[in-house]
């Protein structure tokens, strides 16, 4: 079983739509969680950290469910510029972060 699993998509949505991605992690000892965004032929960039209480940054909301070991990302009012691959990440102390393979989002006008 992969340590971090994501639905690869693609998710094709119109501008203005709300879209949600889920990701599961297998290691219950994971302590830190992030979402990264990767544009085509570019390096991944940190989108947001994920906190146990959930957190919001503008149109983006991240949630963590430790009991079920899943992380979610909600994007409201999608923009064309949101089109990218979204990487779910989990980590624990003293080891490298584990990246999922990503979920591809395509927002169309």
Partner 1 sequence: GAGVSQSPSNKVTEKGKDVELRCDPISGHTALYWYRQSLGQGLEFLIYFQGNSAPDKSGLPSDRFSAERTGGSVSTLTIQRTQQEDSAVYLCASSLGTSEQYFGPGTRLTVT
Give the binding-site size for partner 1 (rule: CB under 8 A).
Answer: 22
Q: Binding of partner 1 at residue 99 (CB under 8 A)? A: yes
Cβ nearer to partner 1, comparing 15 with 45: 45
**Sole window of 18-26, 31-39, 59-67, 73-81 interacting with partner 1 (rule: CB under 8 A):** 31-39
Q: Binding of partner 1 at residue 29 (CB under 8 A)? A: no
Q: Which one among 18, 26, 32, 108 touches partner 1, defined by CB under 8 A? A: 32
Cβ nearer to partner 1, comparing 53 with 109: 53
Q: For residue 43, give the 3-state DSSP assignment.
A: coil
* Torsion angle (degrees, nearest 10) of CA 21, 39, 106, 79: 90
Q: Binding of partner 1 at residue 74 (CB under 8 A)? A: no
Q: How far is CA 71 from the centre of its chain?
A: 7
CA distances from 39 to 43, 47, 63, 92 (A): 7, 12, 23, 26
14's enclosing H/E stretch is: strand 11-14
């Amino acid at each position: 079983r992969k340590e971090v699993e994501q639905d690869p998509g693609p998710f094709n949505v119109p501008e203005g739509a709300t879209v949600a991605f889920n990701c599961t992690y297998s290691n219950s000892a994971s302590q830190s969680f992030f979402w990264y965004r990767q544009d085509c032929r570019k390096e991944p960039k940190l989108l947001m950290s994920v906190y146990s209480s959930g957190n919001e940054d503008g149109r983006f909301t991240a949630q963590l469910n430790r009991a079920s070991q899943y992380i979610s990302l909600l994007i409201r009012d999608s923009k064309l510029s949101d089109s990218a691959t979204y990487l779910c990440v989990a980590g624990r102390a003293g080891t490298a972060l584990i990246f999922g393979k990503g979920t591809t989002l395509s927002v169309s006008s």
